[in-house]
């Protein structure tokens, strides 16, 4: 009778069937019955653990799995079942130990050795992987096991390049003995040679018999061309790339490499032509080479192929750009610029109706001067007025769209001079959008609407009008336009992300979060796209949405770490070793993700904000972060140096090129400067990354600073002074990160408190003064030689900075409906009330704890030196002043809440009905009038206003309640 795990199969079959049909409760009952007859069967323990894990009883499953492992089973079915359970329970070390024992007992069993290799792969233990793979190769002699070992070495070589010769020697020995059987062996070998800059050896291998394993001709030619370039054989490389273009004339990357290889002998640094001082003979030689390239491009254009090819025609534009750069410092520059503009216009005539046109040509247009850019825009619009007769309505619409997109990316050169010009352009684009709606009547609702990009352009124009008038109604009108487009067709991710940014600016986080979720952001997009929503949620009171967002990001990273290992194992078994490298490299990149650290620290700070009303609960929350030490590890210098910025900033609106910069709030740069920087801002992004690292470090220091500030009143002289010393050191590190270099911050703060010219932001100065005061608390208390008013003076500085920060936060430069507050104002007030004010209030509570009747700290401190007579007075004065500031903030909020009640929507809508160019409503009326029956699907202007006001009202109510409860708590303190 056949048995499995020592149990007859006929008895196990009902249990297997129940598990297969997901009937886990009956399966558990069957397993328990079988266990009564076979109490020492490790297989039954493993099966029962699997069932319990499926039922969500993780603790019981873990206990049974470890009990099964303790039997040290050696049969296949028990090992495989137990491995599955341990992996699902994330007990990777136990699974590894299981197969280590099995392999030690049966070392020549390739299945067990392979399973052990998989276990090490899941733990990313590349050294152990290598050892197991070599054992497998010795036992089985298969090429794939050798490549497993070599791939494991390459994964180690990322941190130790000295291992590369070992990998090369192993492959070389195998190659000389029996050659390669699979293309992956050739690819891995060439990769190792390239890493060691042995390009000649790699080329020889490629051109030999092994190269025939690379069956895709274009890939083989491309690799050959790249190796020739590395060997400085540029003419031969150019011939190879030319061969690729004859096969695939639309291969733009191949054309770029062909052009560079052609010019390289004459221009050693072809991407920096403008910095070269060429002789006239050398320029003639370059022009001759470019003419030869142009002749070849014309040959490519003449080829008859069934597909539409942009490459050969865009190549003409690239050649003209190179000629312009070549003559940029000569008298021929104007003529070259004109020829480049003409070539772009010719490309427009042929491909202007394609969605890719604008992205194809923008880099070239930026090389033109303002006059040529204006000429080009005028020619594009002129051509749209006189399109060929055979042009279909849809193509005509796309030609108009492309012309306006180019104009928009360049800052609306034709209309930028006046508000009327911007409005006329917006209404013209609005009519084109209405035309596109008629043409899109049969488009599926899940597809992108024809001409939906027109609404993006309209929102850009309304932002320009807002920047000129500072009337917030234009932002609300932009929101209306985008909501309208999504009401007609829900599929347009760019519109959703624009709404996320607009609603974040308007301090409507719930609406922003709704649209972010509607964009269906999942998996890796959480890391690359969450920069749209996270900053807005961090500076809001929508803590549930923030908690959800940060949890999603952290969960994705935790899940992908496991998934990457499974994907790498799958790649190993399918002999695609380049994918192994890719999956592991991507996992390591995600582990260094900036967005992951942001999510972790903001989640930690959120837990502190939620506990800010209860000092004891807050201290428990800080203890869960190891007293704030854990966040310090997240932002250690070594981790910050290797931080990976995976944010896709290209998806951001031009008026907010980075999450911490918004032209709508205020910027030292004009809209034109921001636009051009948004188009080609690699260097700017690198500069921003330095600022983001600094900001992240400051945020990660906050929990530790707060913990130390709250524990310096323990009553133990040694503990308090040690905490004070560490706090002082951290505050000085904090100040240095802000650019303030001073060993004693007291004089610096005293000097800056009465000055409006802060070297750092006022909130940062407030944070410095707060924790510097905390560091002085035990010094004043225990050191009799300390200056008598040192602590009281520092508290006075905190109060003054708090008043200045409040005044700065509650000021607004935005006009428009009085009940709609600028998001920038609310963001500042929220940050003050939930962080600076909360931390200061908690510190005052902690510092005065010893003076309150019945206080545990007071009983503990009876043997400690008492404070001087002025000490309680200083604290009481600080509390009274702080309570007054809380009341000022509460009164400001109450005033605005009164406006919410007093104003009705009809009064708000009255401004929209005016014909003044400085008032919003023109685009709204154009779109509403043209849609007719479709209006029933659209969210009304009145509804949008109400939703924004409701969000702001909710935020203000939260601020008021927070201020009132904190003031009430502080006033209850008795001295």
* DSSP letter (8 states) at residue 270: G
Phi, psi of 3 (to 5 degrees): -125, 155
- Which among 909, 927, 923 is positioned nearest to 820, based on CA atoms? 909
pLDDT at residue 817, as a whole number: 55
Q: In whole angstroms, what is the distance from residue 880 CA to residue 968 CA?
A: 11
Residue 715 pLDDT > 90: no
Domain assignment of residue 839, yes or no = no
Residue 444 pLDDT > 70: no
Confidence band for 272, pLDDT divided at 50, 70 and 90? very low
Task: End-to-end CA distance of the chain: give it in Å, rounded.
Answer: 86
Last residue of a domain, one of 682, 710, 738: 710
Higher-pLDDT residue of 538 and 667 is: 538
Residue 665 pLDDT > 90: no
Domain assignment of residue 911, yes or no = no
Domain that holds residue 583: 519-710
Would you call 890 helix, strand, or coil by DSSP? helix
pLDDT at residue 744, as a whole number: 76
Tens digit of each residue's pLDDT (9 = 90 or more) over 581-621: 999 999 999 999 999 999 999 999 999 999 999 999 999 99
Domain assignment of residue 293, yes or no = no
Q: In whole angstroms, what is the distance from residue 645 CA to residue 656 CA?
A: 17
Confidence band for 863, pLDDT divided at 50, 70 and 90? very low
- DSSP per position, 191-204: HHHHHTT-HHHHHH
E strand or H helix that includes residue 974: none
Predicted model pTM: 0.89
- Which among 581, 707, 595 is positioned nearest to 643, based on CA atoms? 595
Q: In whole angstroms, what is the distance from residue 142 CA to residue 140 CA?
A: 5
Confidence band for 499, pLDDT divided at 50, 70 and 90? very high
Residue 866 pLDDT > 70: no
Give percent of the chain above pLDDT 90.
57
Number of compact structural domains in the chain:
2
Confidence band for 178, pLDDT divided at 50, 70 and 90? confident
Contact 170, 146 (CB under 8 A): yes
Once rounded to an integer, what is the mean pLDDT over residues 447-467? 86
Torsion sign over Cα 129, 130, 131, 133: positive
Once rounded to an integer, what is the mean pLDDT over residues 522-539? 92
Q: Which residues pair with 658 in a beta bridge?
A: 661
* DSSP letter (8 states) at residue 939: P
Confidence band for 257, pLDDT divided at 50, 70 and 90? very high
Q: In whole angstroms, what is the distance from residue 596 CA to residue 968 CA?
A: 38
Contact 697, 635 (CB under 8 A): yes
Domain assignment of residue 321, yes or no = no
Domain assignment of residue 575, yes or no = yes
pLDDT at residue 945, as a whole number: 86
Residue 812 pLDDT > 70: no
Q: In whole angstroms, what is the distance from residue 28 CA to residue 34 CA?
A: 10
CB atoms closer than 10 angstroms to residue 206: 20
Tens digit of each residue's pLDDT (9 = 90 or more) over 605-664: 999 999 999 999 999 999 999 999 999 999 999 999 999 999 998 899 999 988 888 888
Q: What is the CATH number of the domain that holds 93?
A: 1.25.40.10
Once rounded to an integer, what is the mean pLDDT over residues 11-15? 89
pLDDT at residue 5, as a whole number: 74
Residue 416 pLDDT > 70: no
Confidence band for 242, pLDDT divided at 50, 70 and 90? very high
Tens digit of each residue's pLDDT (9 = 90 or more) over 117-144: 999 999 999 999 999 999 999 999 899 9
pLDDT at residue 901, as a whole number: 61
Residue 756 pLDDT > 80: no
Q: Please count the residues of the chain.
A: 975
Confidence band for 727, pLDDT divided at 50, 70 and 90? very high
Residue 259 pLDDT > 90: yes
* DSSP letter (8 states) at residue 106: S
pLDDT at residue 763, as a whole number: 87
Residue 677 pLDDT > 60: no
Confidence band for 746, pLDDT divided at 50, 70 and 90? confident
Confidence band for 372, pLDDT divided at 50, 70 and 90? very high
Residue 225 pLDDT > 90: yes
924-927: Cβ within 8 A, 24+ apart: 924/477, 924/480, 924/481, 926/427, 926/430, 926/431, 926/434, 927/430, 927/433, 927/434, 927/481, 927/484
Once rounded to an integer, what is the mean pLDDT over residues 550-570? 93
Residue 920 pLDDT > 90: no
Last residue of a domain, one of 680, 710, 740: 710
Higher-pLDDT residue of 715 and 249 is: 249
Confidence band for 749, pLDDT divided at 50, 70 and 90? confident
Confidence band for 668, pLDDT divided at 50, 70 and 90? very low
Domain assignment of residue 797, yes or no = no
Domain assignment of residue 451, yes or no = no
Domain assignment of residue 104, yes or no = no
Q: Which residues pair with 8 in a beta bridge?
A: 3
Phi, psi of 673 (to 5 degrees): -65, -40
Last residue of a domain, one of 710, 728, 755: 710
């Amino acid at each position: 009778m056949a048995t499995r795990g020592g149990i007859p199969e006929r008895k196990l079959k009902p249990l297997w069937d129940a598990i297969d049909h997901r009937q886990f409760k009956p399966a558990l009952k069957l397993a328990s019955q079988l266990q009564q007859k076979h109490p020492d069967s490790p297989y039954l323990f493993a099966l029962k653990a699997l069932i319990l894990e499926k039922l969500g009883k993780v603790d019981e499953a873990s206990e049974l799995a470890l009990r099964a492992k303790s039997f040290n089973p050696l049969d296949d079915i028990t090992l495989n079942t137990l491995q599955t359970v341990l992996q699902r329970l994330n007990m990777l070390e136990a699974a590894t130990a299981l197969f280590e024992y099995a392999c030690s007992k049966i070392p020549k069993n390739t299945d067990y050795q392979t399973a052990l290799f998989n276990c090490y792969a899941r733990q990313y233990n590349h050294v152990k992987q290598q050892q197991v793979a070599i054992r497998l190769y010795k036992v089985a002699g298969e090429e794939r096991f050798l490549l497993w070992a070599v791939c494991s070495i390459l994964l180690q070589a990322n941190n130790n390049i000295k291992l590369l010769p070992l990998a090369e020697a192993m492959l070389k020995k195998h190659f000389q003995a029996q050659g390669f059987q699979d293309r992956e062996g050739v690819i891995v070998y060439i990769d190792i040679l390239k890493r060691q800059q042995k390009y000649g050896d790699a080329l020889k291998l490629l051109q030999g018999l092994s190269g025939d394993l690379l069956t895709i001709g274009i890939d083989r030619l491309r690799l050959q061309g790249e190796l020739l370039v590395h060997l400085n054989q540029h003419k031969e490389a150019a011939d190879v790339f030319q061969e690729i273009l004859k096969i695939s004339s639309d291969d733009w990357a191949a054309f770029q490499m062909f052009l560079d290889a052609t010019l390289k002998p004459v221009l050693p640094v072809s991407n920096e032509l403008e910095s070269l001082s060429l002789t006239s003979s050398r320029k003639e030689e370059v022009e001759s080479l470019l003419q030869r390239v142009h002749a070849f491009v014309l040959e490519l254009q003449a080829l008859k192929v069934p597909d539409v090819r942009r490459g050969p025609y865009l190549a003409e534009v690239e050649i003209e750009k190179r000629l312009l750069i070549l003559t940029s410092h000569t008298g021929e520059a104007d003529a070259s610029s004109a020829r480049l503009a003409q070539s772009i216009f010719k490309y427009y005539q042929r491909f202007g109706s394609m969605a890719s046109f604008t992205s194809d040509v923008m880099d070239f247009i930026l090389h033109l001067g303002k006059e040529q850019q204006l000429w080009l825009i005028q020619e594009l619009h002129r051509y749209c007025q006189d399109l060929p007769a055979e042009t279909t309505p849809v193509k005509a619409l796309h030609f108009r769209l492309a012309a306006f997109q180019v104009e928009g990316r360049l800052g609306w050169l034709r209309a930028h001079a006046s508000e009327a010009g911007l409005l006329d352009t917006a209404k013209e684009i609005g009519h084109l959008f209405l035309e596109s709606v008629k043409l899109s009547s049969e488009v599926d609702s899940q597809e992108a609407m024809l001409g939906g990009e027109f609404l993006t352009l309209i929102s850009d124009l309304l932002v320009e009008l807002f920047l000129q008038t500072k009337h917030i109604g234009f932002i609300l009108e932009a929101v209306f336009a985008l909501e309208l487009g999504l009401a007609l067709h829900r599929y347009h991710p760019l519109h959703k992300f624009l709404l996320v940014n607009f609603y974040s600016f308007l301090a409507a986080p719930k609406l922003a979060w709704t649209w972010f979720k509607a964009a269906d952001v999942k998996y890796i997009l959480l890391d690359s796209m969450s920069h749209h929503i996270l900053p807005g949620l961090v500076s809001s009171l929508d803590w549930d949405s923030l908690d959800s967002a940060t949890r999603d990001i952290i969960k994705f990273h935790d899940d992908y770490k496991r998934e990457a290992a499974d994907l790498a194992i799958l790649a190993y078994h399918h002999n695609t070793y380049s994918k192994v490298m890719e999956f592991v490299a991507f996992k390591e990149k995600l582990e260094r993700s900036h967005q992951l650290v942001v999510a972790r620290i903001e989640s930690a700070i959120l837990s502190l904000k939620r506990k800010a009303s209860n000092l004891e609960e807050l201290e428990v929350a800080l203890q869960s972060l190891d007293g704030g030490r854990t966040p310090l590890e997240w932002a250690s210098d070594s981790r910050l140096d290797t931080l990976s910025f995976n944010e896709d900033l290209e998806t951001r609106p031009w008026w907010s090129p980075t999450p911490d910069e918004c032209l709508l709030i205020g910027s030292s740069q004009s809209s034109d400067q921001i636009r051009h920087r948004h188009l080609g801002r690699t260097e700017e992004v690198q500069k921003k990354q330095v600022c983001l690292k600094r900001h992240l470090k400051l945020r990660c220091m906050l929990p530790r600073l707060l913990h130390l500030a709250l524990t310096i009143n323990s009553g133990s002289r040694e503990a308090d002074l040690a905490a004070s010393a560490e706090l002082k050191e951290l505050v000085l590190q904090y100040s240095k990160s802000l650019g303030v270099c001073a060993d004693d911050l007291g004089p610096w703060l005293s000097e800056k408190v009465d000055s409006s010219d802060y070297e750092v932001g006022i909130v940062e100065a407030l944070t410095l003064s707060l924790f510097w005061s905390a560091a002085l608390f035990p010094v004043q208390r225990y050191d009799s030689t300390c200056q008598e008013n040192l602590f009281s003076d520092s508290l006075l500085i905190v109060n003054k900075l708090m008043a200045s920060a409040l005044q700065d936060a509650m000021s607004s430069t935005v006009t428009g409906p009085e009940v709609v507050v600028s998001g920038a104002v609310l963001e500042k007030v929220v940050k003050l009330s939930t962080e600076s004010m909360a931390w200061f209030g908690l510190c005052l509570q902690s510092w005065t704890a010893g003076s309150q009747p019945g206080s545990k700290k007071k009983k503990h401190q009876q043997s400690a030196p008492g404070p001087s007579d002025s000490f309680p007075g200083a604290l009481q004065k600080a509390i009274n002043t702080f309570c007054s500031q809380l009341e000022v903030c509460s009164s400001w909020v109450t005033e605005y809440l009164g406006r919410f009640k007093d104003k009705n929507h009809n009064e708000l809508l009255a401004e929209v009905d005016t014909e003044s160019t400085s008032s919003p409503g023109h685009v709204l009326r154009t779109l509403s009038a043209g849609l007719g029956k479709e209006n029933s699907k659209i969210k009304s202007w009145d509804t949008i206003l109400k939703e924004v006001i409701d969000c702001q009202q909710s935020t203000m109510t939260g601020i008021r309640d927070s201020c009132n409860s904190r003031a009430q708590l502080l006033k209850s303190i008795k001295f």
